[in-house]
Amino acid sequence: MKPFQTSSGDLNADRRADYAEMLHADGDHAQAAELLLGALELVPQWTAGWFRLGEFQESAGALELAAQAWTMALKLEPADRLGAALKLQLIGKAPPTSGPPGAFVEALFDHYADSFDESLVDKLGYRVPELLERAIRTARPGRFALVLDLGCGTGLMGQRLRPIADRLEGYDISAGMLRRARAKGIYDEVAKADLRDFARAGPKADLVTVTDVFIYIGALGGAVNRIAGLLVDDGLFAFSVEKLDGDGDFVLQPSRRYAHSERYVREVLAANGFLVLSLETTVIRQDRREPVSGLVILAVRSPHA
């Protein structure tokens, strides 16, 4: 994927944008937006500038103007690597969708690949790989002939799986993440793939893991159906979601991640031939110094479900 242009390419416009960022950091959001709009008059095709203008306008409480800026960003870059469509949904200016643009997820993780492990584990207290490994070992001690780690990232889950997998394959949408995973030497194979249309030829797996990936997929039915097709009868499916309290199936949060209700997750699993072996509600990480509640789930594919 072509790197995203964060600079406007115009020195004067960049200087104005830098000053606008200072004003925004000081809390003068309306003035920051006015200054950035002036920069965009110099470089009207600068997608990242329009996206940032929307964020300034949102902070200033000018949601109509924010919507106009994000709509312009989306018009200039329909692939939507910055996630403007999600911003429009969050302020009620676009209808809900079943998930974010794939380009947004790919760009997000390409950006964070080099600092991902340190940020997630050391700073945010990320616990999902540890919790899933414990659930797997408790339910089924021993080894697995073939394990698929979908959305493998840099290999944090793969490191936990390697001692119990005869063959371990990792798949991810981000080339940057896969580069880091490959360098660890823990996978027998790594390849680029999007879980929303994932397909694989060859023998079926004994275990599939999906670690903190469904937070970027709203409606889970299609993905879970594909995972069921990847597994042998009695195969295990281990995954996590952010927990939605209250009514509804799933909801897009201000973080631009999705939270899913326990009821919805159980219904999707049952509809696709899975029985829940364990389900733990726990803190899975921190976000802006606040605990994030999640569900850590182990299910088994059963033809009798």
Class of domain 11-95: mainly alpha
Which residue did the predictor score with more confidence, 70 or 304?
A: 70
Work out the pLDDT band at 236, boundaries 50, 70, 90: very high
Eight-state DSSP code of residue 48: H
Q: What is the mean pLDDT of residues 138-147?
A: 96
Beta bridge partners of 171: 150, 191
Kindly provide the b/e burial profile for residues 44-64, where b requires at least 16 CB atoms within 10 angstroms of the residue's own CB. eebbbbbbbbbbbbbbbebee
Instruction: Give 256-271 pLDDT, tens digit per residue.
Output: 999 999 999 999 999 9
Domain boundaries, the chain: 11-95, 113-301
Cβ-Cβ contacts under 8 Å for 109 (sequence gap 6 or more): 116, 153, 172, 173, 174, 176, 177
Tell me the angle at which helices 47-59 and 63-76 cross, rounded to the nearest 10 degrees. Answer: 170
pLDDT at 98: 79
Structure tokens at 103: 């380009």
Assigned CATH topology for domain 113-301: Rossmann fold (3.40.50)
Which residue did the predictor score with more confidence, 113 or 99?
A: 99
Least trusted range by pLDDT, from 162-171, 228-237, 248-257: 248-257
Nearest to 161 by CA among 193, 128, 203, 124: 128
Cβ(231)–Cβ(204) under 8 Å?
yes
Structure tokens at 251: 């909801």
Residue type for position 174: S
pLDDT at 252: 93
Q: Is the pLDDT of residue 115 over 80?
A: no
The distance from CA 156 to its chain's CA centroid, rounded to whole angstroms, is 15
Q: Is the pLDDT of residue 110 over 90?
A: no
Q: How far is CA 32 from each of CA 8, 180, 296, rounded to the nearest angstrom?
A: 16, 37, 42
Least trusted range by pLDDT, from 140-154, 174-188, 199-213, 276-290: 276-290
